[in-house]
Structure 1
Amino acid sequence: MIRLALRQFRTSTWTAVLGLVAVAAVALATRPHFADAAAAAQRACGSDPHCPALTAFVLDNTTPRTVFGLVVTVAPALIGAFWGAPLVAREFEAGTYRLVWTQSISRSRWLAVKLAVVGTATVVATALLSALVTWWATPLDRAAAAVYGTFDQRDLVPIGYALFAFAFGVTAGLVTRRTLPAMVLTLAGLLTVRIMVAEWIRPLLVAPRVVSMPLDPATTGYGSGGNILFGVGPSALEPTTPDIPNAWIQSVRVVDAAGLPLTDQVLRATCPGLGEGPQGPAGPASEAARQRMHDCVRRIGENYHEVVTYQPGDRYWTFQWWELALFVLLTVLLCGYAYYRLRRFRG
């Protein structure tokens, strides 16, 4: 049975091998240039993380970094759609399940072997791809100092995504018994779960750090509700997001001693007439307007302060392992349901 499963999977195997070879060829051809450029920028900047040379290096190489990240992002979806969804669904469509499941090999063993063979290939292919891209992007990632910005494109979590997508595809194929609908469901399911985890679950995995600091008139401006400098508003004050290397900034708020947020009503009462006056064309604010803004921030700062909630960069691997474990758990649950569904199937 294992030999049969390997023979049936050989086309997909060679496709994956060719894809990995292509990515490896591009990575090996371009990484020396990135490494040399990063080293030159680092020598020019020394220990200054905000050096213009490092910023220019990152901006100049944004496109290849995005392309390689996209490859890792798309790979789990392709595995789920083209490896997982047809695994059982095509047996139903072709009617071959009647022959396969009436032989000496039970349907449970048949599914176990299929899952083991293709699941192992999924882990190996995704792990190699993720390791290759992570290695290639190391100079860029260090210069960018934003490890959470490419969190789902590096190291361990792409393996979890691929396993989940594969298991979801198999389960969708069992439920729909049609390959194309199963592929569509797999893509939609993977996208939905990844968004849910990133937006709702990941922020809850580890308690964030919270730091308070006084409002800085030089870095505090109007919020998203308008432009208080030009009289387009009103809007609450909004501090500039602090630059903490490799940190995941979850929120930046202006609150009082009791933790209550600054409201537009308080802003109007504390800074009357700040947004009044003629509105000229859009452009840099006048020095007088800037001074009024600075004075307003100073008055607000007597009773309010800035609170930053963030995850530090040294928790990166904690989040990597947690998220991998979460998607592996979902994979196990889906495989268990697939076994249950297959054993109860009558046809």
Structure 2
Amino acid sequence: MIWLIWRHYRWLAALGILALVVMIPLFVLNAHAINVASQQPDLAYCFHEDNRSCNLVVFPGMTTLTWYFLVVQTFPLLPFVVGIFLGAPLLAREYEQRTHKFVWMQSVSSSRWLSTNLMFVGGAVVLGFGALSLIATWWSFIQDATVSSPWSTFMIRGSVFVANALFSLMFGVMVGAAIRRVLPAMVVTLLILIPLQIALSMGYPYLFPPSSQLEYNFKIVHGEVIGLLDDQPQDLIVWKGQVGADGKIPIDALYNPCPDDKLTGEALRRCNASSFHELVKYHRFNEHFWPLQLITTALLLALAAVCTGTTYWLLRR
């Protein structure tokens, strides 16, 4: 049985190993170029906190910014690949080719067959994405000081990247068990994973209560730094708007507590100063990034467990 699983997935395993062999040196070269440049006195200005936009040549045809944007735009799509090309066909192929009638009539039960497949395929996904996540996390910490916000790499750092791949795998397996046709299962997996992934990437900041601050931008401008300036924000802004005198309740856009047809001059200024406040809700990187990673990971693993349980239930029907 193990030999049969290897026969099915040996080319995909080889492709995954080849991808790691190619990508890991690119991460290392990229980080090395930045580290070497940051130690050169004539390039020190490039890494100053007011100028963090270095674009260094890693090798001909590839700069640090090119690799950064390539990683940020393509790596979040890798869980789709797992769900579509590994998860969806896993059971659907057996049903479509009717090989399940032969396999499950032997001494191996359907549940044991599925468990063995999930153990090997899921283990390979966890190991592969774990290795990729380790190198991407290390590389991202170097990028934080030179390119953009650390929150732009949230979905490819730490445990979230691995949990997301595992969830996508189990979701694809569940869809394949329900539809029992390879191509429809792959299409449905893609169409449903797209909104799920968009919801996850946009909704994870709301899984943990954000900090809030009155007059956020005012305090930054006047040196009371709670975040960095707009050219390199370390804080993830969740919500901003105007609130009333209590500092909590948002002001109705149609309601003006200080009408200029009744108040003028100093009285109008004082009324505005006491009635209108800017409230910003945000996540600070060094306080909320890893708690959000753990919560998002737990959510993805719970969803993966639900998909796994549903798959076994469908298998026994």
TM-score normalised by length of structure 2: 0.82
Aligned twin of 1:126? 129
- Three-state SS of the structure 1 residue aligned to 2:108 is coil
Q: Does 1:253 align with 2:225?
A: no
What amino acid maps onto 2:281 in structure 1?
T
Is this contact kept in 1: 2:237–2:282, CA < 8 A? yes
- 1:195-234 alignment to 2 at 5 Å? 195-200=198-203, 202-213=204-215
2:3 maps to: 3
Matches within 5 A, 1:173-184: 173-184=176-187
Distance, in Å, in 1 between the alignment partners of 2:234 and 2:196 is: 25
Name the count of aligned residue pairs: 296
The change in CA–CA distance for 1:305 and 1:45 in structure 2 (over 3 A counts) is: farther
Match of 2:188 among 185, 189, 209: 185
Q: CA deviation at 1:38?
A: 4.1
Identify the match of residue 87 of structure 1 among 75, 90, 110: 90
Q: Distance in 1 between matches of 2:253 and 2:274?
A: 15
Establish whether residue 306 from structure 1 lines up as the match of residue 306 from structure 2. Answer: no
Q: Give the AA of the match of 2:155.
A: D
1:158 and 2:167 equivalent?
no
Return the offset for 1:119: 0.3
- CA-CA distance at 1:143 after TM superposition: 2.9
2:296 matched to which residue of 1?
323
Larger radius of gyration: 1
Amino-acid identity (%) = 30
- Aligned amino acid, residue 113 of structure 2: W
Letter in 2 for 1:150: T
- Structure 2's unaligned 5+ residue stretches are 57-62, 222-227, 263-267
Report the Cα distance in structure 1 between the residues aligned to 2:28 and 2:152, rounded to whole angstroms. 24
DSSP 3-state at the match of 1:257: coil
Q: TM-score, normalised by structure 1?
A: 0.75
Q: Decide whether aligned partners of structure 1 residues 300 and 61 sit closer, same or farther in structure 2, where only a CA change above 3 A counts.
A: farther
SS of structure 1 residue aligned to 2:145: helix
How far does the alpha carbon of each residue in 1:101-153 deviate from its partner, in whole angstroms, 9 at most, with x for none?
Answer: 11110001000001111000110111112222233333212334622222112
Is the aligned partner of 1:266 residue 2:256?
A: yes
| Aligned match of 2:143 | 140
Which segments of 5 or more consecutive residues in structure 1 lack a partner in the other structure? 220-240, 273-295
Q: Which amino acid aligns with 2:295?
A: W
How many Å separate the matches in 2 of 1:171 and 1:332?
Answer: 11
